Amino acid sequence: MPLPMDPLQMVHSGPRKKRPRQMGTSMVSPPHDIKFQDLVLYILEKKMGTTRRAFLMELARRKGFRVENELSDSITHIVAENNSGSEVLEWLQVQNIKASSQLELLDVSWLIESMGAGKPVEMTGKHQLVRRDYSASPNPELQKTPPLAVKKISQYACQRRTTLNNCNHIFTDAFEVLAENYEFRENEVFCLAFMRAASVLKSLPFTIISMKDTEGIPCLGDKVKCVIEEIIEDGESSEVKAVLNDERYQSFKLFTSVFGVGLKTSEKWFRMGFRTLSKIKSDKTLKFTPMQKAGFLYYEDLVSCVTRAEAEAVGVLVKEAVWAFLPDAFVTMTGGFRRGKKIGHDVDFLITSPGSTDEDEEQLLPKVINLWERKLHHQRVDSGKCSQQDGKTWKAIRVDLVMCPYERRAFALLGWTGSRQFERDLRRYATHERKMMLDNHALYDKTKKIFLKAESEEEIFAHLGLDYLEPWERNA
């Protein structure tokens, strides 16, 4: 059966020019040079075994092939041993990867011959686990050589799988500093540009080692590319260095680390000449909000990250309190922890109950807070002391509690799981590609003029015509 082809997405293989530049010394250097940039290989472990797979991967990498550990949409060639085409296709389906026309499914004999030849050999019927009929293609080029394609990367994070396995930290850390600095300076355009760039690089299954690697990647403007180039050459960016040493950046970073302090307050304190928290805390003329007071009081606890174990412990307390009022409520940890993060700056929970009335929903959070306040009071009375730092056996942790009507739980869950960049792009995609409006409560189809119902996150993705992404693939 002829498979559909999109000639625009095809890139031909063949030896490429060697990379023009050496990498900066502080970069994590890959053990082997990649000679064949257009091929991204994945070796199937099924029926091959871990040891042989590891051996073949190492050997292929030594020969200049790019071999990935993880399966992703960026893989162009899957190499299998003792597997039939249908077995590989079936396996791919389970992995939620589409066997698109751009993906080659090959027998290990192709890899072995290619390694022997020192370059990718032509793929023939004996190598291909799935027959392709290229003679049907209108493009004469395609009839000669089987195409090797690199899948197009979407400009939307909701069409990319982004796990926590970021191979481009060196670039994304730099972009995030620059984005934050633009945020502090209220330059939204550049802030967003660097955040988008960081997000797209986080989704790549390979480390960028030359400017050639950036070709075809969306969201990389000239300003961004300059930073990438400098990091490739020098191992660091002079602009990032300057920002990290900038007084305004350092002050804003410090001030916003206090819970309840945002850009407006930071700006005010900076203009008043403050540079340290101790001066601010002891100033008699400044007025603080209740949040800021708590932010200063528990500063040390709140700047230290929340661990997963701590988050789980908080979860037990939250459930206990919620169930005291709504015994049938569902309590789900959302935010970064749901996406698989090991640490967080807070713990987010979504609460919903099938039997609750509007009034129950309104009253739940005040009731929970009240319960905790009473408990705290009793503990203090019992132990006969106030919350002193000496012999402190507790830690202050930020908790975000969200209550939502049961019919809206899928929208709330999707909205509060994040990441922020993922959410931003999901909304942008809904608006621009589907003429729909999405928020944490609902999805509205502007063409049909109706609200689309959903019982699960999967249904919302389906309404939007998107492939489903698991929470851990939303770390954009």
Q: Which residues bind ligand 8DG (CB under 6 A)?
A: 335-336, 341, 344-346, 348, 415-416, 418-420, 423, 440
One of 346, 360, 445, 467 is an active-site residue; which one? 346
Asked if 152 and 216 touch (Cβ cutoff 8 Å), the reply is yes
How far CA 91 is from CA of 39, 107, 148, in Å, comes to 21, 15, 21
- Rg for the chain (alpha carbons), in Å? 27
- Report the C-alpha gap between 39 and 169 in whole angstroms: 23
Q: Is 48 left (phi over 0), alpha (psi -120 to 50) or beta?
A: alpha
- By C-alpha distance, which of 423, 459, 440 is closest to 162? 423
One of 107, 213, 348, 425 is an active-site residue; which one? 348
| 415 is an interface residue for Ca ion by CB under 5 A | no
- By C-alpha distance, which of 208, 120, 204 is closest to 163? 204
| 346 is an interface residue for Ca ion by CB under 5 A | yes
Q: Is-catalytic flag, 33?
A: no
For 251-276, b/e burial (b = at least 16 CB within 10 A) is bbbbbbebbebeeebbbebbeeebee
| 229 is an interface residue for Ca ion by CB under 5 A | no
- Report the C-alpha gap between 255 and 249 in whole angstroms: 10
- Report the C-alpha gap between 294 and 289 in whole angstroms: 9
Q: How far is the CB of 295 from ligand 8DG (least distance, A)?
A: 14
| 205 is an interface residue for Ca ion by CB under 5 A | no
440 binds, among ligand 8DG, Ca ion, none (CB under 5 to 8 A by kind): ligand 8DG
Q: How far is the CB of 301 from Ca ion (least distance, A)?
A: 16
Q: Is-catalytic flag, 283?
A: no
Nearer to ligand 8DG, 106 or 402 (CB): 402
* Residue 402 β-bridge partners: 350
- By C-alpha distance, which of 329, 332, 352, 369 is closest to 403? 352
Nearer to ligand 8DG, 73 or 425 (CB): 425
One of 6, 133, 328, 400 is an active-site residue; which one? 400
Q: How far is the CB of 210 from ligand 8DG (least distance, A)?
A: 32
Nearer to ligand 8DG, 113 or 346 (CB): 346
Nearer to ligand 8DG, 205 or 335 (CB): 335
Nearer to ligand 8DG, 38 or 425 (CB): 425
| Residue with the shortest CB distance to Ca ion | 335
32 binds, among Ca ion, ligand 8DG, none (CB under 5 to 8 A by kind): none
Q: Which listed residue (64, 120, 147, 335) binds Ca ion by CB under 5 A?
A: 335
Backbone angles phi, psi at 228, to 5 degrees: -60, -45
| 310 is an interface residue for Ca ion by CB under 5 A | no
Nearer to Ca ion, 120 or 418 (CB): 418
Q: How far is the CB of 427 from ligand 8DG (least distance, A)?
A: 10
428 binds, among Ca ion, ligand 8DG, none (CB under 5 to 8 A by kind): none
- By C-alpha distance, which of 156, 207, 40 is closest to 474? 156
404 by DSSP, 3-state: which?
Answer: coil
Q: How far is the CB of 344 from ligand 8DG (least distance, A)?
A: 3
How far CA 235 is from CA of 31, 230, 429, in Å, comes to 17, 7, 35
| Lookup result for tokens 């700047």 | 303
Q: How far is the CB of 197 from Ca ion (least distance, A)?
A: 23
Q: How far is the CB of 121 from ligand 8DG (least distance, A)?
A: 46
Nearer to ligand 8DG, 9 or 440 (CB): 440
- Report the C-alpha gap between 440 and 206 in whole angstroms: 33
Q: Which listed residue (400, 439, 455, 458) binds Ca ion by CB under 5 A?
A: 400
| 457 is an interface residue for Ca ion by CB under 5 A | no
Asked if 469 and 157 touch (Cβ cutoff 8 Å), the reply is no
Q: Is-catalytic flag, 400?
A: yes
| 246 is an interface residue for Ca ion by CB under 5 A | no
Q: How far is the CB of 438 from ligand 8DG (least distance, A)?
A: 11
Q: Which listed residue (120, 147, 295, 344) binds Ca ion by CB under 5 A?
A: 344
Nearer to Ca ion, 336 or 471 (CB): 336
**What does the DSSP assignment read for 66-94?**
-B-SS--TT--EEEESS--HHHHHHHHHH
Residues of this chain that bind Ca ion (CB under 5 A): 335-336, 344, 346, 348, 400
Q: Could you list the active site residues?
A: 346, 348, 400
